[in-house]
């Protein structure tokens, strides 16, 4: 018997815990951890964001990590096996950060293409989201680390996420067939140690205290036995969440701790209710036993992890348009290449918020293209121009332009109320301070009545109308050479805005400045006047920013000139973490800034134009797509993204991705348009019902459909065979590669229910199975897939509150083939 088998389980220690110890296990501490009980050897649990790159536990620590592609890229691989490998690597990465639970994957549905967090979610489809997320969960948990998929449920928009109410019944079709169904698929294939409950309300009740969702559906009907944890600062009361089944309040004991002790003493929470929650937290420790350790956190550069990051990126990149086979590029046929765009040298790797991370390195696509072209053709030429700007916020003023007290940077002085004598003064190279909740630094600083100053001398490089900007959490004044120029009130922001939406507290000042002339800048900022509500930390931050004047017309002219002289123009365009992030939704999905104008101008003169798009959400391409020859969706591809994009462009890799979400001809074509985001009064209505994504069925509104993606080879499908055997739907098809190079085909199985005599409206077709097949040139493979018949054919019956499979004829669609099958007997069911 091994030593581990002889150690008692943590779960068996319940009876030895005092009431206070039990309560301590039900809330977090230190932001990303929950305490242990050292007296009994019960360890703390450390959690870490995210599956796109495991971050250090202290949010203010900017330690690097392996940055994998964002989740929309992962989903576009449609590759269960590959994502399982990612999960295993994430377990290793979590151990490097000494964490026991990974906060992810995020499986909220891509309901609307403006959703700020869609880049960290998989798809508009329930099955694809659930099964791919499940593969990652299984991979993580294979190595003794826990996974915590999130956010249960309906956190599909960021606007007012802490308070909006999805006014839909959990017993209605929309919630069951779309939003809850993704979770059902996940839980059918995996058993995560924890699930994070969403911020928002559903049917009038916060998810953290929603008994119908957590106890009745998740635990009783679906039999989930893991732990439930709140999103950060998402708990609003003491008794209801305990009764509803929320095990852990994160990140601090705001509504628990002494309040919960009092509630137990007054009999508002019984010991039995408490014990049920504590048992789950003890069991979580048993299930993550293999990862309990508290080593210093570190970042490890590993070839294995980087190769996997590359494999994921190149398997997820989607080739959307390739007229006249403009791709792959051939350095002998088209030796002169114009590369245009800021993202060609500084490519976005991730979106923003808790799913972002600090990558270990960045790859420069222009440099990679140059060396690949030179290697293949020494006389080839690759020229780059940055083109128009893409930033949504003003960059931090560069240290090289600032001096203070004879040093590069800015001097900050901190003052307590009504005092003109600083309690602390320091000169920082970067004109930026960020403090989030106590302990503030300096430690005696009052969070609500203090003030500070920032002083520096700015010497611009160029002459022009530059933009000076300040991001500030309190009331601000700015003087330039002692002349007051700006005064701004305390911005109306939440803690979440502070973390994720800097544009909301940025005050801008256009200013004519002369090159090489020193300007004395003095900022004065007060602390916020009151603490943030609900125990959230009160931010205290100040950043001086500068953008020297740019001339978009000149930038476009130079792009045009470079493109004119080239054989092929490659435009690197899109969005970055400033546009797609946790904390806010986008207003529209067209390319930010003047990128569209630049693409059109380039396409007008270039012999051939290819656009590489960095994005988490679909882009509205209608304004320019017909004028270009090629479009590649690179997503946010992680730290190996440069190599992957260049290999796909050059043909070293055949693009392997298929869209996991429909790209429509404009945002107004999506079913949720008009219903998204949360309306005034904080109500969200799912007006489009189950018509989410391709389920809506309006072909003319679609630019590139769900499941679409081109490659450098072509595939054939043999005859599709379909049969029903013992409650399973079985599909068999042979798939072959008819091209001269290897490639990967995604076999997608859709079920189409009978139209005639149907009791309710149903989507035209729904994805019920998929598999990715890698095939060498000329190779073929027999693909066999089995699906649970009830799962494949049922809809949610709102009257009877159960799933219902009607008897009759159905069809299976694979590629361009459709075959019918019969369901002999109707069924009603309600379980996982």
| Residue 497 bears catalytic tag | no
In the three-class reduction of DSSP (H, G, I as helix; E, B as strand; rest coil), residue 735 is classed as: strand
CB of 108 to ligand BGC, least distance (A): 10
Among 125, 158, 177, 231, binds ligand BGC (CB under 6 A): 231
User: What are the tokens at 791?
Assistant: 């799962």
Q: Within a 10 A sphere around the Cβ of 487, how many other Cβ atoms?
A: 12
Of 542-581, which residues contact ligand BGC (CB under 6 A)? Answer: none
Taking the least distance from each CB to ligand BGC, the nearer of 158 and 177 is: 158
Taking the least distance from each CB to ligand BGC, the nearer of 199 and 706 is: 199
Taking the least distance from each CB to ligand BGC, the nearer of 46 and 150 is: 150
In the three-class reduction of DSSP (H, G, I as helix; E, B as strand; rest coil), residue 805 is classed as: strand
Taking the least distance from each CB to ligand BGC, the nearer of 28 and 84 is: 28
CB of 199 to ligand BGC, least distance (A): 7
**Are 116 and 586 in contact, with CB atoms under 8 Å apart?**
yes
- For the chain, the maximum distance between any two Cα atoms, rounded to a whole number of angstroms, is 86
CB of 525 to ligand BGC, least distance (A): 25
103 binds ligand BGC (CB under 6 A): yes
- CA–CA gap between residue 105 and residue 87 (Å, rounded): 10
Give, in degrees to the nearest 5, the angle at Cα 525 between 523 and 531: 160
CB of 683 to ligand BGC, least distance (A): 21
Give, in degrees to the nearest 5, the angle at Cα 708 between 705 and 322: 110
Taking the least distance from each CB to ligand BGC, the nearer of 94 and 775 is: 94
Taking the least distance from each CB to ligand BGC, the nearer of 232 and 821 is: 232
- CA–CA gap between residue 73 and residue 71 (Å, rounded): 5
Taking the least distance from each CB to ligand BGC, the nearer of 231 and 688 is: 231
Give, in degrees to the nearest 5, the angle at Cα 693 between 663 and 808: 135
- Counting residues that bind ligand BGC (by CB under 6 A) gives 6
696 binds ligand BGC (CB under 6 A): no
Q: Within a 10 A sphere around the Cβ of 418, how many other Cβ atoms?
A: 8
Mode of pairing for the β-strands spanning 827-829 and 802-805: antiparallel
- CA–CA gap between residue 758 and residue 741 (Å, rounded): 46
User: What are the tokens at 804?
Assistant: 């219902």
Locus of tokens 């809506």 = 696
Among 354, 455, 494, 609, binds ligand BGC (CB under 6 A): 354
CB of 56 to ligand BGC, least distance (A): 12
Q: What are the two backbone dihedrals, phi and then psi, of residue 17, each rounded to the nearest 5 degrees?
A: -85, 140
Taking the least distance from each CB to ligand BGC, the nearer of 184 and 496 is: 496
C-alpha distances in Å from residue 10, one per residue of 13, 187, 515, 732: 5, 24, 67, 47
What is the per-residue burial (b if ≥16 Cβ within 10 Å, else e) of 229-253? Answer: bbbbbbbbebbbbbbbbbbbbbbbb
Sign of CA dihedral 459, 465, 471, 476: positive
79 binds ligand BGC (CB under 6 A): no
Taking the least distance from each CB to ligand BGC, the nearer of 231 and 806 is: 231
Give, in degrees to the nearest 5, the angle at Cα 229 between 225 and 234: 145
CB of 28 to ligand BGC, least distance (A): 10
Instruction: Report which secondary-structure segment, H or E, holds 787.
Output: strand 780-788
* Helix locations, 340-395, DSSP H: 365-376
Locus of tokens 């203010």 = 60
CB of 160 to ligand BGC, least distance (A): 14
Taking the least distance from each CB to ligand BGC, the nearer of 493 and 752 is: 493
In the three-class reduction of DSSP (H, G, I as helix; E, B as strand; rest coil), residue 703 is classed as: strand
232 binds ligand BGC (CB under 6 A): yes
46 binds ligand BGC (CB under 6 A): no
CB of 514 to ligand BGC, least distance (A): 44
CB of 72 to ligand BGC, least distance (A): 16
Task: Draw the binding track, 704-743, toward ligand BGC (x: CB under 6 A; -: no contact).
Answer: ----------------------------------------
Q: Which candidate in 231, 497, 567, 647 is catalytic?
A: 231
Taking the least distance from each CB to ligand BGC, the nearer of 114 and 150 is: 150
**Are 356 and 662 in contact, with CB atoms under 8 Å apart?**
no
- CA–CA gap between residue 780 and residue 335 (Å, rounded): 35
CB of 355 to ligand BGC, least distance (A): 7
- CA–CA gap between residue 101 and residue 105 (Å, rounded): 11
DSSP letters spanning 218-274: IIIIT---SEEEEPTT----SHHHHHHT--BB-SS-SSSTHHHHHHHHTTSS-HHHH
CB of 694 to ligand BGC, least distance (A): 27
Phi-psi region of 15 (alpha: psi -120 to 50; beta: other; left: phi over 0): alpha
- Contacting residues for 258 by C-beta, under 8 A, at least 6 apart: none
210 binds ligand BGC (CB under 6 A): no
DSSP letters spanning 47-67: EE--TTSPPPSSTT----B--
- Contacting residues for 85 by C-beta, under 8 A, at least 6 apart: 139, 308
CB of 49 to ligand BGC, least distance (A): 5
In the three-class reduction of DSSP (H, G, I as helix; E, B as strand; rest coil), residue 78 is classed as: coil
Q: Within a 10 A sphere around the Cβ of 448, how many other Cβ atoms?
A: 14
User: What are the tokens at 414?
Assistant: 């901190």
Taking the least distance from each CB to ligand BGC, the nearer of 168 and 231 is: 231
- Contacting residues for 183 by C-beta, under 8 A, at least 6 apart: 107, 130, 149, 152, 153, 218, 222
CB of 250 to ligand BGC, least distance (A): 7
CA 580 to chain centre: 9
The Cβ-side half-sphere exposure at 630, using a 13 Å CA radius, reads 28
Task: Draw the binding track, 137-156, toward ligand BGC (x: CB under 6 A; -: no contact).
Answer: -------------x------
49 binds ligand BGC (CB under 6 A): yes
Taking the least distance from each CB to ligand BGC, the nearer of 232 and 676 is: 232
Given the rule CB under 6 A, which residues bind ligand BGC? 49, 103, 150, 231-232, 354
| Residues designated as active site | 231
């Amino acid at each position: 018997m091994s030593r581990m088998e002889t150690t008692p389980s943590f779960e068996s220690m319940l009876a030895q815990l005092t009431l206070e110890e039990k309560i301590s296990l039900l809330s977090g501490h230190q932001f990303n951890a929950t305490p242990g009980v050292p007296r009994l050897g019960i360890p703390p649990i450390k959690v870490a964001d995210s599956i796109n790159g495991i971050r250090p536990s202290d949010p203010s620590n900017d330690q690097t990590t392996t940055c994998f592609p964002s989740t929309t890229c992962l989903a576009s691989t449609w590759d269960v096996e590959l994502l399982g490998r990612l999960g295993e690597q994430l377990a290793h990465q979590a151990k490097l950060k000494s964490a026991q639970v990974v906060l992810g994957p995020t499986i909220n549905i891509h309901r609307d293409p403006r959703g700020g967090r869609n880049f960290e979610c998989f798809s508009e489809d329930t099955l694809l989201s659930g099964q791919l997320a499940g593969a990652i969960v299984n991979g993580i948990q294979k190595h003794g680390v826990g996974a915590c998929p999130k956010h249960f449920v309906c956190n599909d928009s960021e606007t007012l996420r802490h308070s909006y109410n999805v006014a839909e019944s959990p017993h209605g079709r929309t919630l069951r067939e779309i939003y809850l169904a993704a979770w059902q698929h996940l839980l059918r294939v995996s058993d995560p140690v924890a699930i994070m409950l969403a911020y928002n309300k559903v049917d009038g009740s916060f998810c953290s205290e929603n008994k119908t969702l957590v106890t009745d559906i998740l635990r009783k009907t679906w039999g989930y036995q893991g732990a439930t944890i709140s999103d950060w600062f998402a708990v609003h009361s003491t008794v209801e969440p305990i009764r509803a089944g929320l095990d852990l309040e994160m990140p601090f004991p705001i509504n628990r701790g002494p309040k919960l002790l009092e509630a137990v003493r007054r009999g508002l929470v019984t010991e039995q209710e408490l014990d049920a929650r504590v048992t789950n937290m003890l069991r979580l420790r048993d299930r993550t036993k293999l990862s309990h350790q508290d080593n210093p956190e570190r970042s490890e550069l590993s070839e294995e992890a980087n190769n996997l990051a590359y494999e994921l990126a190149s398997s997820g990149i989607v080739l959307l348009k390739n007229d006249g086979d403009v791709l792959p590029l051939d350095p002998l046929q088209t030796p002169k290449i114009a590369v245009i765009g800021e993202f060609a040298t500084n490519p976005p790797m991730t979106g923003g918020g808790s799913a972002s991370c600090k990558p270990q390195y960045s790859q420069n696509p222009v440099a990679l293209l140059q060396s690949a072209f030179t290697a293949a053709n020494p006389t080839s030429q690759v020229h780059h121009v940055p083109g128009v700007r893409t930033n949504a916020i003003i960059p931090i003023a560069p240290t090289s332009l600032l001096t203070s007290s004879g040093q590069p940077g800015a001097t900050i002085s901190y003052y307590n109320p009504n005092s003109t004598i600083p309690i602390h003064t320091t000169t920082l190279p970067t004109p930026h301070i960020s403090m989030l909740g106590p302990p503030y630094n300096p430690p005696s600083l009052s969070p609500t009545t203090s003030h500070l100053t920032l002083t520096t001398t700015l010497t611009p490089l160029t002459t022009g109308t530059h933009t000076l900007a300040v991001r500030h959490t309190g009331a601000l004044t700015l003087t330039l050479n002692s002349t007051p120029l700006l005064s701004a009130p305390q911005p109306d922001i939440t803690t979440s805005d502070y973390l994720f939406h800097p544009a909301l507290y940025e005050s801008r000042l256009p200013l004519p400045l002369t090159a090489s002339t020193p300007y004395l800048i003095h900022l004065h900022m007060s602390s916020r006047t009151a603490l943030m509500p609900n125990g959230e930390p009160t931010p205290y931050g100040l950043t001086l920013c500068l953008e020297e004047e740019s001339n978009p017309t000149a930038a476009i002219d130079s792009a045009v000139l470079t493109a004119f002289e080239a054989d092929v123009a490659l435009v690197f365009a899109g969005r970055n973490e400033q546009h797609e992030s946790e904390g806010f939704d986008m207003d529209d999905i067209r390319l930010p800034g003047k990128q569209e104008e630049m693409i059109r101008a380039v396409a007008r003169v270039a012999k051939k134009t290819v656009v590489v798009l960095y994005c988490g959400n679909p882009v509205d391409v209608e304004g320019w797509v017909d004028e270009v020859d090629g479009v590649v969706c690179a997503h946010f591809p992680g730290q190996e993204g440069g190599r992957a994009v260049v290999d796909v462009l050059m043909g070293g890799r055949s693009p392997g991705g298929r869209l996991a979400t429909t790209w429509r001809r404009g945002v107004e074509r999506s079913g949720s348009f008009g219903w998204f985001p949360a309306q005034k009064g904080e109500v969200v209505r799912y007006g489009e019902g189950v018509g989410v994504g391709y389920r809506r069925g309006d072909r003319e509104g679609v630019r590139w459909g769900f499941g679409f993606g081109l490659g450098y080879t072509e595939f054939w499908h043999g005859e599709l065979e379909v049969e029903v055997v013992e409650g399973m739907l079985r599909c068999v098809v042979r798939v072959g590669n008819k091209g001269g190079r290897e490639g990967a085909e995604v076999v997608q199985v859709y079920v189409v229910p009978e139209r005639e005599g149907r009791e309710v409206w149903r989507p035209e077709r729904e994805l019920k199975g998929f598999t990715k097949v890698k095939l060498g040139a000329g190779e073929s493979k027999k693909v066999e897939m089995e699906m649970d018949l009830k799962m494949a054919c049922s809809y949610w019956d709102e009257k009877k509150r159960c799933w219902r499979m009607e008897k009759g004829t159905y069809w299976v669609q694979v590629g361009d083939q459709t075959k019918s099958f019969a369901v002999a007997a109707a069924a009603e069911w309600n379980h996982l």
